[in-house]
Chains A and B, each alone.
Chain A
């Protein structure tokens, strides 16, 4: 039973560049949520996708955008990268939109230089 898969695992980008992170949910899950975890802090909710639509959004600027595909996989895009965007980006999948049973992927560590 495949868990949540994220790619890439590590990424280094330059300020001002754009980045796309990918997430495949756990088998049977249809909802994907994205979180940003800066060093030494707890994860912060970015947004949640269900039925290919953004359902909830945290306090993140429009530079952060996403997409969910018909196979439930998801992408997180960040434009005009800032040094402060350096963090671990976690994807969590669950079933049925506002449900429980979150499973986290191992994350993508983004470093902006």
Chain B
């Protein structure tokens, strides 16, 4: 089993709709998680941090389910500019906080 797994998508989303996708992780000791956004051929950029049960920032909501070892990202009122790959990231606290990335979920928002 991979340390961090994501549905690669793509998720084709009508503009204005809601989309949600999950990320599963294997290390039950993980305490914090990140969602990064990566545009085509660009570097990843931090979207949200998740330290407890969840976090909300505008149209974006991240939730953590420790029992089932997954985090989710929900995007409400999708904009065309939300089209990107969303990377789930788990820092390894016992290993110098190296970041373990999932393979990414591609989201395409269409008019």
Chain A interface residues toward B at CB < 8 A: 33, 35, 40-45, 48, 50, 55-56, 58, 88, 90, 92, 94, 97-100, 102, 104-107, 109
Contact = CB atoms under 8 A, between A and B. Distances in A.
Contacts of A43: 44, 87, 99, 101
Interface of B: 4, 6, 8, 32, 41-46, 87, 91, 93, 95-104
A90 B44 contact: yes
A34 to B, nearest CB: 10
Contacts of B4: 42
B98 A42 contact: no
A107 B44 CA distance: 10
A109 to B, nearest CB: 8
Nearest to A46: B98
Given A41-B103, A42-B101, A56 B43 contact: no
Residue with the highest number of chain B CB atoms closer than 10 Å, among A44, A100, A106, A109: A100
Contacts of B8: 40
A49 to B, nearest CB: 10
A97 B96 contact: yes
Nearest to A96: B97
A41 B100 CA distance: 12
